[in-house]
Structure 1
Amino acid sequence: MRGKPLYPFALTAILGILLIIVLSFVGVNIGPDTASENGEENAEEQEFDDPIELGESIYAGQCAGCHGGDLSGGVGPALDSGDYSADDIVDAIAEGPGTMPDNIVSGDEAQAVADYILAENE
């Protein structure tokens, strides 16, 4: 008994490889356009008049991945209980308790994050 011919399998493999190559070129051509558009927007630093808005922006970029976008926790503890003071939050940012890295932000930015967390708990 003769086995199945290799032509359909080889054709499928060749078409798959060609598809990967085509999609790679499409992705390479799309990438720089998107990057330059985002780069122009990100190149200009946003200025915030309200420290809570600044804190919200920093929290979204630096803290939400571990503490949750709604302060409900995740990898890191929940911050929505209202059990923390501004000094507790600033100290935690500076010291990095547990597995949290220390000094993610400092100074006015750390205080802005604390103000944001406290404002969300009101």
Structure 2
Amino acid sequence: MRKFKGVITSVFTVGLIMGLGACSGDTDEAAVKKETQEEKVNEALAAEGEKVVKSSCTGCHGIDLTGDLGPNLHNLSLSKEEIIELLIKGRKTMPPGTANGMEEEVAEYLLTLK
């Protein structure tokens, strides 16, 4: 009977390890796929945002966005949400509504600037 319990325990342990290993592999693969899809969406948003920035922001922030009348827009320490709020509400000499409903796209683009 003891020998039989040891075999059952071993089989159960091996099965549990294999089952958990299979599950974790699927989860990692799904997470990587989801992350890749999100990056594609972000790239698409950033591309749209770049168009808005080039037509609306370069007059004050300079052609290369490193600053002129307005501040440098590279390496911003603001979050995406803070940038969106700033674009909607404006701040100091920056007028509100300069992104014309494309705030998320502009924020995505600005966050890519290094």
How far apart in 2 are the matches of 1:70 and 1:85?
A: 21
CA contact (8 A) 2:75 2:111 kept: no
Q: Of 58, 65, 76, which residue of structure 2 is paired with 1:71?
A: 65
Give SS of 1:52's match: helix
TM-superposition CA deviations, 1:6-59 (whole Å, max 9, x none): xxxxxxxxxxxxxxxxxxxxxxxxxxxxxxxxxxxxxxxxxxx91111100000
Compare the two structures and name the one with the higher helix fraction.
2
Q: Of 92, 97, 115, which residue of structure 1 is paired with 2:91?
A: 97
Normalized against structure 2, the TM-score is what? 0.57
Report the count of equivalent residues: 72
Q: Of 25, 50, 66, which residue of structure 1 is paired with 2:44?
A: 50
Structure 1 alignment gaps of length 5 or more: 1-48
> Sequence identity, in percent?
33
Q: Is residue 110 from structure 1 mapped to residue 95 from structure 2 by the alignment? A: no
Structure 2 alignment gaps of length 5 or more: 1-42
Task: Pick 1 or 2: higher relative contact order, CA cutoff 8 A, min separation 6.
Answer: 2
TM-superposition CA deviations, 1:63-101 (whole Å, max 9, x none): 111112322111111111331211111111111101111
Q: Which amino acid is 1:76 matched to?
A: G
How far apart in 2 are the matches of 1:68 and 1:86?
A: 21
Across the aligned residues of Structure 1 and Structure 2, the Cα RMSD in angstroms comes to 1.7
How far apart in 1 are the matches of 2:67 and 2:98?
A: 18
